[in-house]
Chains A and B, each alone.
Chain A
């Protein structure tokens, strides 16, 4: 079974631009979560989507947004990029998440560098 895939793997943008990252979950998985990983803050939760609905959101500004399509693929968008947005953006999928602690499987990440 193929794992979580993320595209592109690497991106270089300049301040003020916007960027869209894509994530395809494991086949049959319906939940997608997004995380930002930086050396200083570690892994931080951005948001979670299930059945095309955002069910949970972390403490990030409104410049960070996402969506999920009917085939469970997800995209996240960052508008008006800042230098501090440089990070590894990770996507994770799980099968049928509820409150019971469903295991999340991570993709390889998209490395974003903002100049």
Chain B
């Protein structure tokens, strides 16, 4: 069974204090790893898709990286508006069992204080 574990569960940062969120995964046949941001009461907002080890993607203050066992979401000089829950998800498997199915971690709640 696919497993996704995110750490830490919660992270409190001061504005401008850079840090990283971790997503460890155990899957059979990774098809893609996804990062989402979710604000309270809203649906997840897509951030990045990573497909293979060594891949990196950047968007504003965020950078996502991928290895064969984990992914990191690096946040550089965060601002209060970056406060949200960050979710990691994988699509994995062979054949029809992977269609449309994302397996999510429990998320990291990020709070950035001004």
Give A contacts to B, CB under 8 Å.
4, 31-33, 35, 42-45, 47-50, 55-56, 58, 90, 92, 94, 97-109, 111
Cβ contacts under 8 Å, A98 to chain B: 99
Cβ contacts under 8 Å, B45 to chain A: 106
Q: Is the CB of A50 within 8 A of B100?
A: yes
Interface bits B18-62 vs A (CB < 8 Å: 1, else 0) = 000000000000111110100001111110010100000000000
Q: Is the CB of A101 within 8 A of B51?
A: yes
Q: Is the CB of B103 within 8 A of A45?
A: yes
Query: A56 contacts which of B36, B41, B100 (Cβ < 8 Å)?
Result: B100
Q: Is the CB of A108 within 8 A of B99?
A: no
Q: How many residues of B contact A (CB 8 A)?
A: 31
Q: How far is the CA of A32 from the CA of B100 in the complex (A)?
A: 8
Query: A42 contacts which of B31, B32, B98, B107 (Cβ < 8 Å)?
Result: B107
Which of B31, B49, B102 has the most CB atoms of chain A within a 10 A radius of its CB?
A: B102
Query: B42 contacts which of A97, A100, A109 (Cβ < 8 Å)?
Result: A109
Cβ contacts under 8 Å, B14 to chain A: none
Nearest CB of chain A from residue B6's CB, rounded to whole Å: 10
With A42-B107, A102-B32 given, name 9 new contacts (CB 8 A).
A33-B100, A43-B44, A45-B102, A50-B100, A56-B100, A104-B100, A106-B36, A109-B42, A111-B41
Interface class of chain A by DSSP:
strand
Q: How far is the CA of A42 from the CA of B109 in the complex (A)?
A: 13
Q: Is the CB of A100 within 8 A of B99?
A: no
Q: 10 A-B pairs, CB-CB below 8 angstroms?
A: A33-B102, A43-B44, A43-B89, A44-B104, A47-B100, A101-B32, A103-B46, A106-B36, A106-B43, A107-B43
Which of B91, B94, B98, B101 has the most CB atoms of chain A within a 10 A radius of its CB?
A: B101
Nearest CB of chain A from residue B74's CB, rounded to whole Å: 20
Cβ contacts under 8 Å, A92 to chain B: 102
Which of B44, B49, B87, B89 has the most CB atoms of chain A within a 10 A radius of its CB?
A: B44
Q: Is the CB of A50 within 8 A of B99?
A: yes
